[in-house]
Amino acid sequence: MIEFRGVSKLFPDGTLAVDDFSLVIPSRKTTVFVGSSGSGKTTLLRMINRMVDTTSGTIEIDGQPTTALEAVALRRSIGYVMQNSGLLPHLRVVDNVATVPVLNGVPKKEAREAALVLLDTVGLDRSLAERYPSQLSGGQQQRVGVARGLAANPNILLMDEPFGAVDPIVRSELQVELIRLQRDLDKTIVFVTHDIDEAFLLGDQVVILEKGGVIAQVGSPTEILTAPANEFVATFIGAERGKRALSIQKTATGDILVDSEGRAAGVLVQQSEGVVR
Amino acid sequence: MNFLIQAFAFIFDPKHYGTANGIEVRLGQHLLISFEVLVIAALIAIPVGYLIGHTGRGRAFAIGFSGGVRALPTLGFMILIALGVGIGLGAPIVALVVLAIPSILAGAYSGFEAVDRRTVDSARAMGMNELQIVAKVEVPLGLPLLIGGLRAASLQVIATATLADYVGGGGLGRFIFAGVQTQDYPQMLAGSILVIFLAIASEILFSIIQRLVVPAGVTAGRPKDVRVKSSRSRAALG
Amino acid sequence: MNWIVNNGDLIGQLVVAHLATAIPPIILSFFLSIPIGWFANRFQVSRGILLTVFALLYAIPSLPLFIVLPLIIGTGLRDPINVVIALTIYGIALMARSTADGLASVDPDVRQAATAVGYSARSSFWRVELPLAGPVLLAGIRVVAVSTISLTTVGAVLGIDSLGALFTDGYQRNIPSEILTGIVVTIALALAVDFLIVRIGRLLMPWSRIVGAGGGRSARRQRTAATA
């Protein structure tokens, strides 16, 4: 569990990125911060591993303030995946993945073997292990980024718009992959995006942020869709434009779902398993 | 062209080898001065440059210092020191070190600056401490530009070390100054040709090193020409 | 101080000789670099070849070049023209690169816009691309000017008149204040010419804030903003 208690961040240039922010992020769930630029979502994420220091307030992980550990040690215990992967260009894929364990003192050979297993986990062929990041596609680089984030077997994984820079087809592949991974690994994932569809797809808990880190609404996708807290949320999720208000229309070829403007939005099928979150 | 033939005759004349003023002795002195100067200048400039590159502070100071050194006439500076410390190697070494520092400094800090900030950011986010970021990320990725700076400095130093003999520092300049005194143009020319060859040899050597130190994996993503532009300003004194 | 007072005339003469030798290479290298920079930028292949050739010329040490040049162009060893030509070569070696870089830095969109509104290739070069490359050219010529003025002193060891004569004379007669005067006046001259060039640049390019000789890359250093 990660808990923000009255956290504020004032940058030296005078921007108040986050003001008196409080939130509980449950363990082993995916929490998504979603908002436009300037909403403070990346700042919030980076405060968890102290890449950004809070100006006031505290952040606790499992009851321990993040300041109890040295920043460097804290960061090693938390996985971090960023946009553009942030891989080290001069290290081979396998060494990139093994970086944190090696920093933690794991023998190099052992760390490399574990890294190969992680490549399997994120769905990358082991033949890519000896390549350099520049020789991979954007989607492959992001997978390596995820593998690296998992390398130290952290309980928490921070993901800062990790799929923001890849094309839509690859993005949806990666999103599906992340859902699968999360089912297997059961990490506490904190995910930042500006894409509401991505937020609803991935999030168990979605946090919609207004400018300056003000929480507009917290809840499951279902809660937010069925009961937008205010006009800002409604606009943000597209409910106002009727994009989310779907109705069934009978056609010659079968039933389809249409939005409020009558555009085809999907088809209705039987729910096979699980419950809507 | 007659002079040129005479100059080469001078260079290949066995009489000019094996004495205290032999070509191989002067060549050795020239190389030794240049090498010593590069080592001293690197020991000063690289740590300072890395500090500037890593912290992002002091860049204005480095640029100002480089500009000042560019305007400083090395000949006058060297002679002034020589009047203080006496003739010999001391004055040329001090003057040449001052001359060499800006290029190496620029190579060191611009090498760090050329590293993608997102790469550094992610290294920090992974839990590298500042020293590890410097050693494992910034130094290897900045190496091509540092070598570029050393290359420019080496050229400047080899070229300018020619002046060292003006204050009794020896080196290949000896043939030039001896030639000037005795109106012996072929000897001057011979000395000049040797210095030119040495300068070109340095360029070739460093261009090979530069190719070797580009970290594998970044060759694709980097512009081919990795010289330090700003420091190429004043290479060829002497 | 006494020495300066007693030798005002000499210093004056040497300043004149120094400028007479140093100014032509600065002006020549600026103008000669324009066609070279244009040509270097015009074709992919020519850029590599031209810039490499000039970089190699730059590798030739100046004192040896002062000595070799008379052999090639048939002048006397003490003819200032040797220094002028040698310094012009170095000036072009530096400046051609700045010009090529400057022209390359012009936004392709602007170039296309110029063509679209009806500039011919030639008028687009002179009226759009060259002016827009101006700040980079200015930064380049400032470097050339300062190093040329400093390098001019080297000719003194061959007996070619310049402020460098104060160094050789001061050394032979053991007068430190003469040497110090030479250094200070040379630097002052370099700063004055640099200042003049900046003023000319402001006059010609009122739209642009002048780029420092070191280039303006400070923005790169800004820490990755975390305010998203």
Average pLDDT over residues A26-35: 94
- Residue with the bigger pLDDT between B238 and B187: it is B187
C217 pLDDT exceeds 50?
Answer: no
User: pLDDT tens digits for A185-241?
Assistant: 899 999 999 999 999 999 999 999 998 889 999 999 999 988 889 989 988 888 666
Which segments within chain A are labelled E, that is strand?
Answer: 2-10, 16-25, 30-34, 56-61, 64-65, 78-82, 156-160, 188-193, 205-210, 214-219, 247-251, 254-258, 264-267
Whole-Å CA distances, A172 to A159, A180, A185:
16, 12, 20
Residue A169 in contact with residue A144, Cβ under 8 Å? no
Candidates 3.10.20.30, 1.10.150.130, 1.10.1200.10, 3.40.50.300; correct CATH number of A2-267?
3.40.50.300
Least confident of B18-22, B162-166, C217-221: C217-221
Structure confidence at residue A151 as a pLDDT band (50, 70, 90): very high
Backbone angles phi, psi at C140, to 5 degrees: -65, -45
Q: Which of residues 141-200 of B touch C (CB under 8 A)?
A: 155, 158-160, 162-163, 166-167, 173, 176-177, 180, 185, 188-189, 191-193, 195-196, 199-200
pLDDT score for A276: 59
Average pLDDT over residues A33-41: 90
Q: What are the b/e assignments for B152-187, b being 16+ CB within 10 Å?
A: bbbbbbbbbbbbbbbbbbbbbbbbbbebbeeeebbb
3 state DSSP class of A130: coil
C228 pLDDT exceeds 60?
Answer: no
C-alpha dihedral (C194, C197, C201, C204), degrees to nearest 10: 170
pLDDT score for C163: 93
pLDDT score for A242: 65
Please give the Cα distance from C197 to C209 (Å, whole number): 14
Torsion sign over Cα C127, C128, C130, C134: positive
> A36 CA to chain C: closest CA distance, Å?
8
pLDDT score for C132: 87
- Residue with the bigger pLDDT between C79 and B157: it is B157
Degrees to nearest 5, angle at CA C72 with C69 and C76:
60
Domain extents in chain C: 2-221
* β-bridge pairing A64-65 and A56-61: antiparallel
CA A124 to chain centroid, in Å, comes to 20
| Whether the complex's predicted ipTM surpasses the cut of 0.95 | no
Query: Residues of chain A with pLDDT > 70: what percent?
Result: 95
- What does the mean pLDDT of chain C come to? 83
Structure confidence at residue C209 as a pLDDT band (50, 70, 90): low
Residue in chain B closest to C77 (alpha carbons) equals B185
CA A78 to chain centroid, in Å, comes to 13
Q: Is B90 exposed, middle or buried (0-12, 13-18, 19+ CB in 10 A)?
A: middle
pLDDT score for B234: 36
Average pLDDT over residues A85-111: 91
User: pLDDT tens digits for A63-88?
Assistant: 999 999 899 999 999 999 988 778 99
Task: Write down all domains in chain B, each with its CATH number in brackets.
Answer: 22-234 (1.10.3720.10)
User: pLDDT tens digits for B113-158?
Assistant: 989 888 999 999 999 999 999 999 999 999 989 999 999 999 999 9
Residue type, B206: F
User: pLDDT tens digits for A236-276?
Assistant: 888 666 677 777 888 887 788 887 777 787 777 766 655 55
pLDDT score for A275: 55
Query: Residues of chain A with pLDDT > 90: what percent?
Result: 68
Which of A109-113, B177-181, C199-203 reaches the highest mean pLDDT? A109-113
A partners (3+ CB pairs within 8 A) are B, C
Please give the Cα distance from B167 to B91 (Å, whole number): 8
Nearest to A88 among B124, B127, B137 (CB): B137
- Residue with the bigger pLDDT between C163 and C77: it is C163
Q: What DSSP string runs through A74-97?
A: HHHTEEEEETT----TTS-HHHHH
B235 pLDDT exceeds 60?
Answer: no
For A7, which DSSP code?
Answer: E
C44 pLDDT exceeds 80?
Answer: no
- CATH topology for the C2-221 domain: MetI-like fold (1.10.3720)
Which tokens sit at A175?
Answer: 């999103």
Please give the Cα distance from B161 to A148 (Å, whole number): 51
Spell out which residues of chain C touch residue A11, defining contact as CB-CB under 8 Å: 226-227
Spell out which residues of chain B touch residue A51, defining contact as CB-CB under 8 Å: 121, 124-125
Average pLDDT over residues B24-47: 95
pLDDT score for A256: 83
Residue in chain B closest to A49 (alpha carbons) equals B125
C partners (3+ CB pairs within 8 A) are A, B
3 state DSSP class of A19: strand
* β-bridge pairing A16-25 and A188-193: unpaired
C149 pLDDT exceeds 80?
Answer: yes
Residue appearing with tokens 């597209």? A238
Cβ neighbour number for residue C100 with a 10 Å cutoff: 26
